[in-house]
Amino acid sequence: MKPAPVTPVVATDTIPHMPVWVTSVRGQTPEDVAFLSGAALAHLHLVVHADAVPQPLFRDRLALGAAEACVVFTGRPERAAALRDAVHLMRPGDLPGPAGETLVSWQRAVARPVSVGMLARALPGMDATQIAGWLDAQEGGPVTRAAMVLQAVLADAPRAETAALILADAALARALGWTHMVPLLAAGLKRADLGKGDADLEMACHRAVTASVSHAARIAGDLARRAAHLQAVAPKLRAKAAGAAVQMFLTRDAVAPAGLPLPDRAARRLCDRLVSLGAVRELTGRDTFRLYGV
């Protein structure tokens, strides 16, 4: 007997919508700019605590955007697709290359709760004591602390843009009481902003937060709908370890069939089945060396 059709669960109504005035109004005074970023962060606070949002996947997807921005800051040509390839198509013993290492750092930074030890593992070139010093020395509101950390790290290590932005986002998360960091600043800042200091840098960070939260909220809503659909069609899957595979898709931006807990042919069949069900997408557009994601 054929299984009964499963109606995808749409979680749109469980995700709060960003108030239009937060992004439609451009603050001119420092007070207005700070107020808008605060309103944006208050909205994101609801999003990062929404059960309907697959939070690990949400953070991993934002990590890709942050890594791409950092690669642009360094003048390298790689973009999101190349970063995915560099990390997800590695074979045992391979190295991801400089651009791929940027993505790996962001992925490690968002995967576990914020702590000095976690940040030291994500940034192997940074000393844990130095990281603690940067994070603990700052005062003020969340965005102010993030801007101060960004400025302090770049003052000590001018070419460490990735580390500075990761630590700034970590400071922001800690100030907001979030367990995990959410990449925001890298995608919202411009290269020229990194050369600013004090009040100018703080204003740039406020504006970056407002813009990035708007983008992040849209991603969260899209992922909530897609994750609900994936979970709804999961009972249709017959492959062994399909449940474990589904969980991988719910936590990772991209998955290669070879990385699934299935034999190679079974993994490729499962991916094709999920694509046919509209539960995941093929991300590369290639016939070989494919990657899949929610």
pLDDT in tens, 9-20: 444 566 878 888
| pLDDT for residue 6 | 38
pTM tops 0.85, yes or no = yes
SS3 category, 198: helix
Counting beta carbons within 10 angstroms of the beta carbon of residue 192, is it exposed (0 to 12), middle (13 to 18) or buried (19 or more)?
Answer: exposed
| Residue boundaries of the structural domains of the chain | 29-224, 237-293
With 0-12 / 13-18 / 19 or more C-beta atoms within 10 angstroms meaning exposed / middle / buried, residue 274 is buried
* pLDDT 10s digits, 193-209: 999 999 999 999 999 99
Confidence at residue 15, expressed as pLDDT on a 0 to 100 scale: 80
pLDDT score for 8? 41
- Cα separation, 149 vs 157, whole angstroms: 12
Helices (H) and strands (E) in the chain, counts: 13, 2
Return the pLDDT at 11: 46
What does the pLDDT read at residue 209?
98
Domain 237-293 has CATH 1.25.40: no
The pLDDT, as a whole number, for residue 239 is 83
For position 13, what pLDDT does the model report?
Answer: 61
Low-confidence ranges of the chain (pLDDT < 50): 1-11
